[in-house]
Homo-oligomer: A and B are copies of this chain.
Amino acid sequence: MPRADTARDRILDAFQRVLISSGERAATLDAVAAAAGVSKGGLLYHFASKDALVDGLLERLDTFAAADDERMRSAPEGTVDYVIRTSVEEGSAFDEALIAVSRLAQGSHEKARTALAAVRARWETAIAAAVGDPAVARTIMLVSDGLYYNSTLLGAFETSDTRDGAMDELLAVLGRLTPASPGPAAAS
């Protein structure tokens, strides 16, 4: 179901690509159809309306988010490490769906914004479970939000943030906030 080479999936891939590289406004049915290598009519056979196309992408995001949820909680480096490091784009399928939906949310699409908030809620819950102090958990979540905001919305990571070791530095700073316990390895 997730990685089939059906026409539907190829169209969703194209939709994502156009959204990510050119934004919501450019993601017209015409543009998506062209990127998918079909005509507008062909696209509309698989997705009866633009809203249906959006819903398809939102479902895809939800599938990926559920998978990420498990990975996040069982991450060997620890939940906080995992969440912070994956806050900045790395090119996974989940990432791509997430950024595409972000572009959608940037437009006006209410459903996309809700879906995004739901993904964020998963992260927040996991961080709260990993760190004792709720105020610290909130701080860490906000840092994650900040990384995400910079990398996907502002597109401004030419400065210090791509630098190798910047992430380790950041995690070291955040590590100082959890008085009791483990940044890395809360082991078995």
**Chain A residues within CB distance 8 Å of chain B:** 22-26, 105-108, 113, 116-117, 120, 134-136, 138-139, 141-150, 153-156, 160-161, 166, 169-170, 172-174, 176-177
Determine whether the beta carbon of B139 is less than 8 Å from that of A170.
Answer: yes
Determine the chain B residues whose CB is within 8 A of the CB of A135 once the complex forms.
169-170, 172-173
Q: Which of B24, B146, B155, B174 contacts A144 (CB 8 A)?
A: B146
Determine whether the beta carbon of A107 is less than 8 Å from that of B25.
Answer: yes
Determine the chain B residues whose CB is within 8 A of the CB of A120 once the complex forms.
154, 156
Determine whether the beta carbon of B153 is less than 8 Å from that of A149.
Answer: yes
Could you tell me the distance between the alpha carbons of A147 and B134 in the complex, rounded to whole angstroms?
16
Determine whether the beta carbon of A173 is less than 8 Å from that of B177.
Answer: yes
Determine the chain B residues whose CB is within 8 A of the CB of A169 once the complex forms.
135, 138
Could you tell me the distance between the alpha carbons of A173 and B57 in the complex, rounded to whole angstroms?
38
Determine whether the beta carbon of A176 is less than 8 Å from that of B173.
Answer: no
Q: What would 7 A/B residue contacts be, using CB atoms closer than 8 Å? A: A24-B108, A106-B106, A107-B107, A117-B154, A143-B146, A149-B149, A176-B177
Within the complex, the shortest CB–CB distance from A103 to chain B, in Å, comes to 9
Determine the chain B residues whose CB is within 8 A of the CB of A25 once the complex forms.
25, 107-108
Residue of B nearest to A102 (CB): B153
Residue of B nearest to A142 (CB): B146
Within the complex, the shortest CB–CB distance from A136 to chain B, in Å, comes to 6
